[in-house]
Amino acid sequence: MKLIVILLCLIILIISLSNIYIYYGIKRPQGPKGSKGIKGDTGSLGVEGDMGEVGITGYRGTIGIKGKDIGLKGEIGKQGIKGFKGEIGDIGKKGLIGDKGIDGPPGIQGNRGFKGKKGLEGPLGRSRVISNLSPINLIADRRKCIRIDVKDQIELRCPKNMVVFDIRAKKVSDRTVDSNIDNIVCCNMVMNPLYGDYFNKTKMLDKLLINLGTLKTQIAAYKSKYIQGNMWHQYLKGYNEEDISKITYNIEKMLNLLLGIQSFKSIREMPYEVINKYYKDEESAKLIKEYTEGEEANIKEMSDSITSYEYYILNLILGLFKMNAASIDTSDYKRFVKEVYDFPKNDIVSLEEAVNYLN
C-alpha cells in the first residue's frame, strides 16, 4: 500500500515538474499585437537654462575661387527616365509651438576694403564706314589659307590677292591696352552671291536654331506615335532607337555651339589629357573628345582650329535650306537629318558638293 502511495507521489511530482518546465522553460510563440492604447497627456516644459556668453567674432577668411570659374563648361547629359510617382502620405499632426528664443547681440562690422585702381582707358577705334547696309558676300577659301608667324619680321603682310582672316595676339599686361601679335592667318577671299546665301551668321543662328528645335520636338513625337504623313517621321523611320539617341545627343552639341558663337570654344578643342583629368574616366573622355590624334592634326592643318572646323560644318548644313524664286521650299531635310547624325565627323567634300548644287 505504501509503495503505491509513493509511486503516485512520484508520478504527481514528475507531472508537476513537467508542467513547470513547459510553462517556464519552453518559449511560446508571440501572439498578434494588440491595439495601441490611448496617448497620455503631454508633460509640461522644463525650466529654460541661462544663455552662455557670446564669444568674440573671428576674422573673415579670404574668398575662395568660385566653382563656376574653374574648368570648361561640360556638355549637357542625356535626360534620365522619369520615375514613378509615389502615393501621397497622410498629413502629419501639428507639433507644439516652441518658445521664442532670446535675440543675440549684433555682430562686429568688418573693415572696409580698399578702393581699386582705375584702369587705363582704351584708344578710340576708327569708325567703320559701310555704304551698303545689306550683308557683304565675302568669305574665306579655307583651302587657300596660310599662317604667318611674327618671328623677326617688323611688319606682317599678306601675299598678293589675300587678306587677313584671323589675328592671334596676347596682351602685354592687364594695365595696358597693348598686345603682342603672335601670328596672322591670310586667306584667298571669295566674293560670290551664291555663297552669301548660306555663309551668314545671323541667318545660321535663326535657321539652324529653328530646324534643330523642330527636329528635337519631332523626335519626341516620333517616339510617342509614328505618323505616316509626317515629313520628319518619314525620315526618322530609317534610324533605329540607338541612332535616334545619337541624333538627339548631337542636336544638343550643335545647339551649344550656336548659343556660344560669340564667346565659346568647342569642348573638343581641349587636349585629351585635360578632359580625362576632369572626368577621371577614360571612356567618357574619349566620347567627349571624339577625334583621334590623326583626325585632330588634319583638322588643325585644314581649318587652324577644331572650333573653326565645326562652325564651318554648321555653315554648310545651313546651305541645305533653300527657297526658290517662287517661294517654294526646296530644302533637303532628309540630308539635314543625316548630317545631324554624322556631326561632327561629316563628309565635308560630299556636303560641299550637295550644298553648292542645291544653291
How far apart are the C-alpha atoms of 295 and 300, rounded to whole Å? 9
How far apart are the C-alpha atoms of 15 and 20, rounded to whole Å? 9
Indicate the average pLDDT of the chain. Answer: 79
pLDDT band at 235 (very low <50, low <70, confident <90, very high): very high
From 95-99, 133-137, 334-338, the region with the lowest mean pLDDT: 133-137
pTM for the whole thing? Answer: 0.52
Percent of the chain with pLDDT over 70: 81
> Maximum CA pair distance of the chain?
145
Q: Is the pLDDT of residue 191 over 50?
A: yes
Angle at 332 between CA 247 and CA 139, to 5 degrees: 95
**What is the grid cell recorded at 134?**
545689306
How far apart are the C-alpha atoms of 77 and 248, rounded to whole Å? 11
Does residue 237 or residue 168 have the better pLDDT? Answer: 237
Tell me what pLDDT residue 358 has: 65
Write out the E strands in the chain.
139-149, 162-171, 179-190
Length of the chain: 359
Write the pLDDT tens digit of every residue in 41-88: 787 887 887 888 887 877 776 777 776 667 666 777 777 777 777 777
- Residue 308's nearest CA partner among 341, 277, 348 is 348
The mean per-residue pLDDT over the stretch 256-281 comes to: 81
Tell me what pLDDT residue 149 has: 84
How far apart are the C-alpha atoms of 145 and 163, rounded to whole Å? 10
Task: Answer whether 142's CB lies under 8 Å from 181's CB.
Answer: no
pLDDT band at 333 (very low <50, low <70, confident <90, very high): very high
**What is the grid cell recorded at 174?**
592687364
Q: Is the pLDDT of residue 247 over 90?
A: yes
Does residue 202 or residue 318 have the better pLDDT? Answer: 318
pLDDT band at 246 (very low <50, low <70, confident <90, very high): very high
Tell me what pLDDT residue 21 has: 77
From 184-198, 241-255, 257-271, 334-348, the region with the lowest mean pLDDT: 184-198
- Residue 13, strand partner residues: none
Residue with cell 535626360: 79
The mean per-residue pLDDT over the stretch 29-43 comes to: 78
Does residue 239 or residue 102 have the better pLDDT? Answer: 239
Write the pLDDT tens digit of every residue in 297-318: 888 888 778 888 898 899 889 8
- Residue 147's nearest CA partner among 189, 184, 187, 188 is 184
Tell me what pLDDT residue 8 has: 83
How far apart are the C-alpha atoms of 53 and 30, rounded to whole Å? 55
Task: Answer whether 270's CB lies under 8 Å from 75's CB.
Answer: no
pLDDT band at 96 (very low <50, low <70, confident <90, very high): confident
Does residue 274 or residue 104 have the better pLDDT? Answer: 274
The mean per-residue pLDDT over the stretch 148-159 comes to: 77
Write the pLDDT tens digit of every residue in 112-147: 666 666 666 666 655 544 444 455 556 667 677 888
